[in-house]
Structure 1
Amino acid sequence: MKKIRIGVLSTAKIGRTKVIPGMQRANNCEVAAICSRDAQAASRAAEELGIPKAYGSYEDLLADRDIDAVYIPLPNHLHVEWTLKAMARNKHVLCEKPMGLNDGEVNRLINALAAHPDIKVMEAFMYRFHPQWVETKRLVDQGAIGAPTAIQSFFSYFNNDPGNIRNKADMGGGGLMDIGCYQVSLSRLLFNAQPRRAFGWMDKDPCFCTDRTFSGMLDFGGRLSTFTCSTQLAPYQRVNLLGEQGRIEIIIPFNAPPDAPTEILLQQGDETKAITFDPCDQYTLQADTFAQSILEDTPAPISIMDSFANQHTVDALFQSAETGTWQNC
């Protein structure tokens, strides 16, 4: 069976601890190389993770003709730059979210893809591939809770490390870009629409100048998604979706553990039941699905237009928070 050979651009923690181990359990791809601007760091990571090749520069990995695709877990401000460079080397790209710092950056990728129609570029919203989300979407689409009308979500962790890229404003840090983008994404997924307008409120860290807490409202025309995300609150995550006839609650919506069951709660009328899912790795599922789209030459599971729409909404939320007014999406 042919496998897609993936190279990893950087030794970022998310890659080393979560995404690469998940990819290595996939059926139709393999992690064939890793790189860093520090050759010793690349070699250490390759040895630790059992990766055959290590490179001391991103350019050297992209020049490897044996690499079919790259995974990019670089800081947010480098996503578009290195996606474009990978495309220029005819590499498919799985890039960490957010795809770009604004919708204008994502539009650069849209234009580049028009010139490279055979290349797959996908934003790594891994949560969408977990069975709990696949089932939630199926239940909603089949009318299990009636017309979905309201979404409430919360996502937070605590990180006040000044050296962490999530706390660096010039690198695209802050809560909305790091985790609030998930809440925008799930809202658009469950309502199967783009919001008409957005309202945002944020509290900025006085030292980092990043949004340490961001709350938003997305108006889908008679349907509303409200959310809060924070980089400096107690760790917590939860999603509630309410319809005219029921409710779905996702207990661990984003960081679903690969080695433990997960569950969602389905309330229909006065009855609530738990739906349990066997342990699985959402990063493995993401890698398998992305690689399969390359092998079969089918569209990327998450399109670049979906990424543009998500970033456009994030941009509107930021603009609203700065002006104190609703912004059209």
Structure 2
Amino acid sequence: MDTIRVGLIGAGGNTRLHHAPKLAAIEGVEVVAVANRSMASSARFADEFDIPNPVESWMDVLDDDSIDAVCIGTWPYMHSALTIAALDAGKHVMVEARMAANSSEAHAMLDASKERPDLVAQIVPAPHTLAFDQQIVDMISDGYVGDIIGVDAKVAGSNFPNWDGELHWRERRDFSGNNIMSMGIWSEAMMRWVGDYASATAVGHTVIKHKLDGDGRRRSTGNIPDYIDVVAELEAGGQLHLQVTTVTGFAPAADVYIHGTEGTLRLVNEGNGLELYGGQRGDAQMSKIDVPAEKVGSWRVEEEFINAIRGIEPITHTDFTTGVKYMEFTDAIAHSLKLGEKVGLPLS
């Protein structure tokens, strides 16, 4: 395939910041159409990014036989329907994260992709730990921590509750499904380090039960927790504790410990970006670990997508099988919150 023609469905933040400009910058790639929530918004986006064909509906993108691939940048509630329709239309698919609203939809997406093995199917990966992932994986594999005892992760918005805040789409179940705050991106990232989850147990509560919508009216947050604790068993041994919240003042943005029988790794963001520390049995204290340049990962989602279409490399960040696993973990947490019990994984 010489020139790859891409259509955009949904023009949100990541599409604006990453997908549209970075796809267009790749040699032999043309971004030729965009469908957003209205014809007017499609036209504005097309004008900003010099896209020749703004259209009114996502169906116009899929019905265009000249388009080879689509980038789906909508909210999660649309991901499954759009992905399956795009694959049925014979188009390669890059879909924004989270993969879907729930694991049933994610399984349907995976099944559709298996029916078209000739097409590339990619989920935009959780990007926040890419600069450290390879270093952490290598240190664990090389025995730095020994056998993993447990992972203790705390992720916070570092804000006190704000009852006059604007309702975000992530706080609406009709848009976001079972996804909760940044729980999904962190559970995906930690799977890269310590493998799959074997079970999940969760407790949580909603401190801010109503927020202001775009018209200034108070609207329910749908009881999506803004403070949650998850305990998971790891398939490879050990367990994980993940606390995610957006309502705790003075908390670090992220603080993750990986404890093992011989050493400990700590990935922490106390306001100046993530930094990695480590210490082993016999050390007086933990020391900062500088990641070698050749191990520092970075955002290359669009490059990987196009390379996969051209047969240059496989999809690693992130394939649909991995997406189903993290969506099952998300659903296990939702079930545990509702039922008050441990939920085994995989679900199916």
* TM-based fold match above 0.5: yes
2:188 maps to which of 160, 182, 185: 185
SS at match of 2:118: coil
Residue 272 of structure 1 and its aligned partner are, at CA, apart by 1.4
Aligned to 1:202: 204
CA 1:112–1:325: 2 relative to 1, 3 Å: same
Aligned to 1:267: 279
Could you tell me the TM-score, scaled by structure 1's length?
A: 0.84
Contact 1:126 1:282 survives alignment (8 Å)? no
Aligned to 1:140: 140
Aligned to 2:120: 120
Contact 1:97 1:178 survives alignment (8 Å)? no
Aligned to 2:216: none
**Within the alignment, does 1:167 sit opposite 2:171 as a pair?**
yes
**Within the alignment, does 1:87 sit opposite 2:87 as a pair?**
yes
Aligned to 2:306: 291
Give 1:196-235 correspondences, 5 Å limit: 196-204=198-206, 205-206=208-209, 207-209=220-222, 210-220=224-234, 222-233=237-248
Indicate the structure (1 or 2) with the bigger Cα radius of gyration: 2
Partner Cα distance (1:117, 1:275) in 2: 40
Partner Cα distance (1:328, 1:47) in 2: 49
CA 1:44–1:21: 2 relative to 1, 3 Å: same
**Within the alignment, does 1:314 sit opposite 2:315 as a pair?**
no
Aligned to 2:267: 250
CA 1:233–1:129: 2 relative to 1, 3 Å: closer
SS at match of 2:243: strand
Contact 1:127 1:133 survives alignment (8 Å)? no
Q: Which letter does structure 2 place at the counterpart of 1:119?
A: L
Residue 251 of structure 1 and its aligned partner are, at CA, apart by 3.6
Aligned residues: 320
Partner Cα distance (2:255, 2:25) in 1: 28
Contact 1:153 1:237 survives alignment (8 Å)? yes
Cα deviation digits, residues 25-48 of structure 1 (max 9, x gap): 556755443221312211211222
Higher helix share: 1
Give 1:20-169 correspondences, 5 Å limit: 20-24=20-24, 29=29, 31-127=31-127, 130-157=130-157, 161-169=165-173
Contact 2:5 2:66 survives alignment (8 Å)? yes
Q: Where in structure 2 are there 5+ consecutive unaligned residues?
A: 210-219
Partner Cα distance (1:19, 1:240) in 2: 33
Q: Where in structure 1 are there 5+ consecutive unaligned residues?
A: none
Residue 23 of structure 1 and its aligned partner are, at CA, apart by 4.1
Per mean C-alpha deviation after superposition, the further-off stretch among 68-77 and 160-169 is 160-169
CA 1:83–1:232: 2 relative to 1, 3 Å: farther
Q: Which letter does structure 2 place at the counterpart of 1:38?
A: S
Aligned to 2:344: 328
Partner Cα distance (2:315, 2:268) in 1: 28
Residue 313 of structure 1 and its aligned partner are, at CA, apart by 1.4
Contact 1:161 1:167 survives alignment (8 Å)? no
Contact 2:258 2:265 survives alignment (8 Å)? yes
Q: Which runs of 4+ in 1 moved over 6 A?
A: none
Could you tell me the TM-score, scaled by structure 2's length?
A: 0.80
Residue 319 of structure 1 and its aligned partner are, at CA, apart by 0.9
Residue 105 of structure 1 and its aligned partner are, at CA, apart by 1.2
Cα deviation digits, residues 106-146 of structure 1 (max 9, x gap): 12122222321212222211428833222222222222332
Per mean C-alpha deviation after superposition, the further-off stretch among 85-94 and 32-41 is 32-41
Residue 320 of structure 1 and its aligned partner are, at CA, apart by 1.0
Q: Which letter does structure 1 place at the counterpart of 2:186?
A: Q
Residue 327 of structure 1 and its aligned partner are, at CA, apart by 1.3
Partner Cα distance (2:247, 2:174) in 1: 19
